[in-house]
Amino acid sequence: MTADRAALAAVFAQSAQTARYPIELPDAPVATVFDIPEGMQLVAAQCVLQSGVHLSHGESAERAASLAFCSAAAELAASGAMPAWSTVSLSVPGGDRQWITRFAERLNSLGAAIQLQFIAGPVQRGTLAVSIQLSGLVESGCAMRPGGAQVGDIVYVSGELGAVAHCTDRIQRGDTPDEACLRRWRSPVPRIGMGRYIAEFATGCVNISEGLGQSLADMARLSGVGMSVKLDAVPLPVSVSELGVAGLDLALYGSGDSELCFTAPASAAVAARLANLPPVMGRVTAIGTVDAESGIRGISARAQVVELPSRGWRHFTGTTDIVL
């Protein structure tokens, strides 16, 4: 085991003490064996972040860890799975061991709250890049998927949208971001608890970090339905709502919000459960309905109807389909 990888492994060893599903790790860098509890299914998500695309040159270890962790964890949240193990690999300029240690410590602090165990993967010198594979467990047959929306369902989103895209835009322009937006940009929070909570009744669910507009289009296509969205119902933080139309565009097509969009039956029982979410989970907002007619329609406060395009973050180009 290289010295850089040993440094990462030494910090990660602490996570085994509090892990929900602890596994014994070998001293040598060989394949890891996982024991899956009976009646559970394994759900895996992977995230790769690169300097110049997802990370800035000279990115802090703390933000790189937060962003990588949340990007993978948000995918598990959308399936209703509880994260159990995470394998982490790094490419670090100059093999900066202090950066590696700060990165590992930040991951450990994020994982401790959900009893996650970290496993050190390959570490090498090179252009900054982070790869995280996050594996979680969900009860057999209970995993949520994007393609289950039914005509008549209500469309919900968690949290507030547009803050991260707004912060990114301000930073790129050389401006000082709003403090609340900056906090979400530095330390995004995956909706793991909410995913577990809604899995009992949600018909479809997706992580909208690539943009709400694109996510709605994907859900509708996979479900064979259409959707109508009340544009004035889309939840925005104050600093984004003050931007007017530009703020709504950030919420619809900007990337980085690790929130959930899900569909659920239009029943009083579901509405009551969502109205009484534990405070730690945040809040959800009903923004529209699932229709038989294909396509995504936006309905303004004046009842004007417009077609919403499938726009959002494009991984291959490293850009977002939004012009401010």
Other Cβ atoms closer than 10 A to 41:
15
Which 3 state secondary structure label does DSSP give 115? coil
Same domain? For 35 and 93 the reply is: yes
Same-domain status, 296 and 161: yes
Q: Are residues 198 and 103 in the same domain?
A: no
* Residue 45 burial (C-beta neighbours within 10 Å; 0-12, 13-18, 19+): buried
Instruction: Tell which phi-psi region holds residue 315, choosing left (phi > 0), alpha (psi between -120 and 50) or beta.
Output: alpha
The label of the residue with tokens 């659920």 reads 264
Rounded Cα distance between 120 and 222, Å, is 36
Range of the domain at 219: 146-320
Q: What is the CATH number of the domain that holds 173?
A: 3.90.650.10
pTM of model > 0.75: yes
Cross-strand pairs, 204: 263
Residue 46 phi, psi dihedral angles, 5° rounding: -125, 145
Helix 179-186 crosses helix 163-172 at what angle (to 10 degrees)?
100
Residues 132 and 151 reside in one and the same domain = no
Together in a domain, 11 and 90: yes
If asked whether residues 206 and 132 sit together in one domain, one would say no
Alpha-carbon distance values, 202 to 163, 277, 282 (Å):
26, 14, 17
Q: Do 37 and 105 belong to one domain?
A: yes
Residues facing 285 on adjacent strands: 157
**Chain mean position to CA 159:** 12
Provide the number of structural domains found in the chain: 2
Residues 88, 199, single domain; the answer is: no
Q: Specify whether 167 is located in the same domain as 97.
A: no
Residues 42 and 150 in one domain: no
Q: Residues 131, 151: one domain?
A: no
Q: Which of 90, 120, 139 is the last residue of a domain?
A: 139
Q: What does the pLDDT profile of the chain (324 residues) look like in tens digits? A: 677 788 888 899 889 889 999 988 766 666 788 889 999 999 999 999 998 888 888 889 999 999 999 999 999 999 999 999 999 999 999 878 899 999 999 999 999 989 999 999 989 999 999 999 999 999 999 999 999 999 999 999 999 999 998 888 888 888 888 788 788 888 888 999 999 999 999 999 999 988 999 999 999 999 999 999 999 999 999 989 999 999 999 999 988 898 999 999 999 999 999 999 988 898 999 999 999 999 999 998 888 888 887 665 444 344 444 433
CATH code at 76? 3.30.1330.10
Q: Which two tokens stand for residue 112?
A: 């401790």
Identify whether residues 193 and 132 lie together within a single domain: no
